[in-house]
Chain A
């Protein structure tokens, strides 16, 4: 192909016939994530690319940002040009001023010990003078409300604060082209609005990748696109949004409605007059964190949601409920009998937000049988039968390697592990994070099948309404029925 090396006519981003398949670590080949994708973005355009979770959206961002196939190996065909530079023979650091990428998972992009060093790092690489670096660092900190957190390390930051730091880094570098993968997620309303203003008033080109349509997106973009089956399709806003909601399965019936469940023995878990106090390590907030729970009850077959903003104490309560932490005051009773921490450990299953913390074996089969094999009352044949049935139920392939499976499948595996443990109660922490509503709902339905009581934790009130009418909320350190 005859391609001009550099010139003003070059579009900001030009992707032609791009296909990508992740390298397989087994005998069978993986199926392609992107297949014959074309995308051309003119300078100064502002584009919203919608895609449900796990349909190649992040892979596309990773290819543009140079992570694939250099560090996550795979077969790439087709061409990608950014501002006229062919990515096949351009190193990521040469694109520092052309393209800035903010990833969906902020943890993975931190390279420095403190917030100010994080912003200074790329500026040092550009060889700017100390005065200029200090000027840009200061203004980025002020713009994103991070001045107080200047010397904090990323471990001390909340999810939203991490996103702000990464956006501040991009603002300080000031590249032409911004690729924002779910950057509005985790941000509070006011910061979402600040980001919208930046995009609207900015001179550069913006590509926003999102898996949910937010109200802040209104009137922000001049083109809309949908990523499906490895290809990108542009269209009218209304039409794209409609196809998108079908893709997400929003039209599908809610599996929880009229679900028939089988309750064998009914259990009731009650906790009363709970109080916990935690001293924050962060030096900024001298006040200790307090959570009190006057009364909370959950019975077999119940669906209960707990909502509240980030940092309000939802996880604190979950940790108490499953016996990982000890409360300062208060008691837990199961069917009238008081429970200690170890007994709670075995009555309440807690599905962590990050499924990788619970996965460690090389195949799904071994992962599912691990806990069962430690039970003395089951023989090998019974274990096999249970594992097979469970895998079919959750749509898992027994011979796959968990660590290289897609996120929804890893999440399903995590749920399947607990399903086999057959606990009377489950806590699902931010299940809807990085899953479509329909996938998340079907996981809940499966776990609930045998009559388990379920507490769902989420900060998305819309999702909470889909799940249940019984809602608890945390306000000003008190957990109460909303």
Chain B
């Protein structure tokens, strides 16, 4: 009999959302100016490993919650849309049949799309709703850097986790 896996879907999305929140809030690598947070690492990992729906919800919800807890509630809706879209698009690009390794070109494409989504998404939405065009434009390089690091580390992490914990394959839906 075909077993109903609704509980699994809820569990996967909830735990991944929590992962995104933790990666965003706890892991902060100090650089010359300010911090890089790892939310894009978590999002790319999820997109590479779990597919578009989990990536969309966990990425959007996770970053929105992280904004809320850090006292930036006003950013939550924007983060939800931008990062949700980021997760969804990256996952759609790399999605494929089982056990075929992702071609290098696809990875590059996913990387470009990810960086473009984050930087342009934040630019457009915060230009319209929050900070105006010039301030939003000044954030672009920063967002490019952070999402670039995200794609590279996310890919490495997806490969590492698949090898270190093979049953992860049975969790994707």
Contact = CB atoms under 8 A, between A and B. Distances in A.
Nearest to B167: A25
B21 to A, nearest CB: 15
Contacts of B170: 23, 73
Contacts of A362: 160, 163-164
Interface string B45-66: 0000000000000000000000
Contacts of B163: 362
A71 B164 contact: no
Contacts of B166: 25-26, 401, 403-404
Interface of chain A, main secondary structure: loop
Interface residues of B, number: 11
A404 B4 contact: no
A68 B158 CA distance: 26
Contacts of A89: 1
A113 interface: no
Interchain residue pairs A-B with the least CB separation, the first 5? A25-B166, A362-B163, A403-B165, A362-B164, A89-B1
B33 interface: no
Interface in A286-340: none
Interface of B: 1, 3-4, 8, 160, 163-167, 170
A361 interface: yes
A360 B1 contact: no
A71 B3 CA distance: 11
Tell me which of A23, A25, A88 has the highest count of chain B C-beta atoms within 10 A of its own C-beta: A25
Interface of chain B, main secondary structure: helix
A404 B3 contact: no
A91 interface: yes
A71 B163 CA distance: 19
B167 A88 contact: no
Interface residues on A, range: 10 to 19
Tell me which of B8, B164, B165 has the highest count of chain A C-beta atoms within 10 A of its own C-beta: B164
A19 B163 CA distance: 28
B164 A361 contact: yes
Nearest to A402: B164
B1 A404 contact: no
B135 to A, nearest CB: 37
Interface in A224-260: none
B8 A71 contact: yes
A360 B167 contact: no
A362 B168 CA distance: 13
A89 B1 CA distance: 7
A413 to B, nearest CB: 13
Contacts of A374: none
A73 to B, nearest CB: 6
A143 to B, nearest CB: 29
